[in-house]
Amino acid sequence: MKRLESFVVLLMCLCWFLVGSGLARAEDLSGTFSTTMTIIGDSQLVGDVTCTVVGAPCIAFGASNIKLRLNGFTITGRAVPPANCVSGSNFASAPEDGVSSAGQSQIAILGPGLVEGFGRNGIFLVNSSQVRVDTVTVANNCFSGIFLSGTSYSDIEQTVSVRNLASAGFTCGGT
């Protein structure tokens, strides 16, 4: 009888651990974002995202070792280049990017999907490592489609960067 009670307690603890850990549950994203959505766990688009965020990124990675799956949906900013583009003097202080990694490692942005219409860059990968961007289209952003600086050991595959504008004297546009 004592063995059975111990087994039941062990089984209950195991079930509590598996349910409480949120195993295999991604955060679902869609709709309109008026403030930056900081993701700290695996996340996925379940519908199109419209960003009205001013002076900050739309979606920011707030932790390492996570994925953002676009699932065929679109992340759209408020810019229609050259309208609503960040000016040259505000380039660093108004990071109106679609997706920003800023210092995280082992992250992934996985398509298919589209990132478009941002006042600065579609995807901003700075001081990051082991980043994977796969099957994403970045288009009609005011500066680079994908901006890389201080990023190492990363893979950008099957990704298209088109019609991104080199604004305010900056000589960027693609990747």
pLDDT tens for each residue of 123-167: 999 999 999 999 999 999 998 899 888 888 888 999 999 988 765
pLDDT score of 37 more than 80: yes
| Peptide linkage before 95 cis (omega within 30 of 0) | no
Q: What is the CA angle 153-158-162, rounded to 5?
A: 105
Burial class of residue 135, CB neighbours in 10 A (0-12, 13-18, 19+): middle
Tens digit of pLDDT for each residue in 111-124? 999 999 999 999 99
DSSP assignment string, 60-124: EE-SSS-EEE-TT-EEE-S-BTTBTPPPGGGTTT----SEE-TT-BS-EEEEEEEEE--SS-SEE
Indicate left, alpha or beta for 118 from its phi (over 0: left) and psi (-120 to 50: alpha). beta
Average pLDDT over residues 52-62: 96
Which pTM does this prediction carry?
Answer: 0.81
Decide: 26 and 47 in contact? Cβ < 8 Å: no
Of 20, 16, 74, the closest CA to residue 48 belongs to 74
